[in-house]
Amino acid sequence: MSKPLLINGERLWNTLMEHGRIGGTAKGGVCRLALSELDGQGRDLFVHWCKEAGLEVRIDAIGNIFARREGTDPSRPVIAMGSHIDTQPTGGKFDGIYGVMAGLEVLRTLNDKGIQTKAPIEVIAWTNEEGSRFVPVMMGSGVFTGAFTLEHALAATDVDGLAVQDELRKIGYAGEVSPGQVPGGMFGAYFEAHIEQGPVLEAHELTIGVVPGALGQRWYDVVVTGQESHAGTTPMDLRHDALLAASRIVEKVNALGRHFAPYGRGTVGYMQVLPNSRNTIPGTVKFSVDIRALDDGDLLAMEADLKDFIAGLQKADARLQVDMKQVVYFPPCHFDEACIESVRAAAQALGLGHMDVVSGAGHDAVYVADVAPAGMIFVPCKDGISHNEAEDATPEHLAAGAHVLLNAVLKHAS
- Binding-site residue set for Zn(2+): 84, 95, 130, 194, 387
Does 131 interact with its own copies (rule: CB under 8 A)? no
CA distances from 240 to 282, 313, 316 (A): 9, 11, 10
Is residue 198 near its own copies by the rule CB under 8 A?
yes
CA atoms of 254 and 249, how far apart (whole Å): 8
CA pair distance 30, 19, nearest whole angstrom:
10
What values do phi and psi take at 225, rounded to 5? -115, 120
**Cβ-contact 145, 180 below 8 angstroms:** yes
**DSSP conformational letter for 275:** S
Cis peptide before 4 (omega within 30 of 0): no
- Give which of 141, 73, 17, 112 is closest to 414, Cα–Cα: 73
CB of 255 to its own copies, least distance (A): 9
Task: Indicate the residue among 77 and 99 with the shorter CB distance to its own copies.
Answer: 99
User: Nearest CA to 138 among 155, 159, 123, 153?
Assistant: 153
Establish if 389 lies at the interface with its own copies (CB under 8 A): no
Choose the binding region for its own copies from 19-27, 90-98, 116-124, 232-240 (rule: CB under 8 A).
232-240
CA distance linking residue 30 with residue 27, whole number of Å: 9
Which residue type sits at 205?
A: E
Site string for its own copies, 270-299 (x = CB under 8 A): xxxx--xxxxxxx-----x-x-x-------
Query: Interacting stretch for its own copies, rule CB under 8 A, among 17-25, 181-189, 247-255, 299-307?
Result: 247-255
Per-residue x/- marks for its own copies, 329-368, CB under 8 A? Answer: ------------------------------xxx-------
Segment near its own copies (CB under 8 A); pick from 60-68, 105-113, 268-276, 405-413: 268-276
User: Considering the rule CB under 8 A, would residue 135 count as an interface residue with its own copies?
Assistant: no
Provide, rounded to whole angstroms, the least separation between the CB of residue 377 and its own copies: 15
Any contact of residue 265 with its own copies (CB under 8 A)? yes
Restricted to residues 204-223, the positions that interact with its own copies (CB under 8 A) are: 215, 217, 219
**Least Cβ distance, residue 222 to its own copies (angstroms):** 11
How far is the CA of 370 from the CAs of 134, 187, 295, 365, in angstroms? 22, 11, 16, 9
d(CA 386, CA 35): 21
Residues that bind its own copies (CB under 8 A): 196-200, 203, 215, 217, 219, 229-238, 241, 243-244, 246-248, 250-251, 254, 257-258, 261-273, 276-282, 288, 290, 292, 359-361, 384-387
